[in-house]
Amino acid sequence: MITLTTGKLVAINGVTQENDSQGANTGYTLDFMGNTVTFTFDIGSGAPAAFNIGVYNQRVTVTVNLTTGAWTSSNGFSGTISGASLTNFVNQAKAVRNTAETFVAGNSVMPGTQTAW
């Protein structure tokens, strides 16, 4: 959960419709063939376990190249993750992949034996 430095207050004809003061990573997609991960962030409000995306949400995506660490965001920012931070991203991606393959191999979806990446 991200507490926004500046929230998004939406008022129509002087009546507050919502005041989004938080952001959250609401999903991600790992592309193992392209070696990228794309994170989706939304704004809204609520405690971490009860986060609600705002009606006037401004979705932001961040795509990270897991080989080079280069990243770009849909709202115009970019940079490079390096060192331990990039290694952590890659290791977590591999752990998710191994867990998913183990689940599928052991639950008759694709019966077999999983080999860790």
Is 83 contained in some domain? yes
Residue 49 has pLDDT above 90, yes or no: no
Total number of domains in the chain:
1
Dist CA 98 CA 96 (whole Å): 6
The pLDDT value recorded for residue 47 is 83
Residues 55-86 as b/e (b if ≥16 CB within 10 A, e otherwise) read eebeebebbbbbeebbbeeeeeeeeebeeeeb
**Structure-token match 């961040």, residue found:** 62
Is 86 contained in some domain? yes
Is 24 contained in some domain? yes
The pLDDT value recorded for residue 101 is 96
Is 56 contained in some domain? yes
First to last CA, the chain: 30
Query: H-helix or E-strand containing 87?
Result: helix 83-106
Is 111 contained in some domain? no
Residue 62 pairs in a beta bridge with 39, 73
For 57-116, write each residue's pLDDT tens digit: 999 999 999 999 999 999 999 999 999 999 998 999 999 999 999 999 999 999 999 999
Write out the residue range of the structural domain in which residue 16 sits. Answer: 2-106
CA proximity to 71, closest of 24, 28, 15, 12 = 28
The pLDDT value recorded for residue 70 is 98
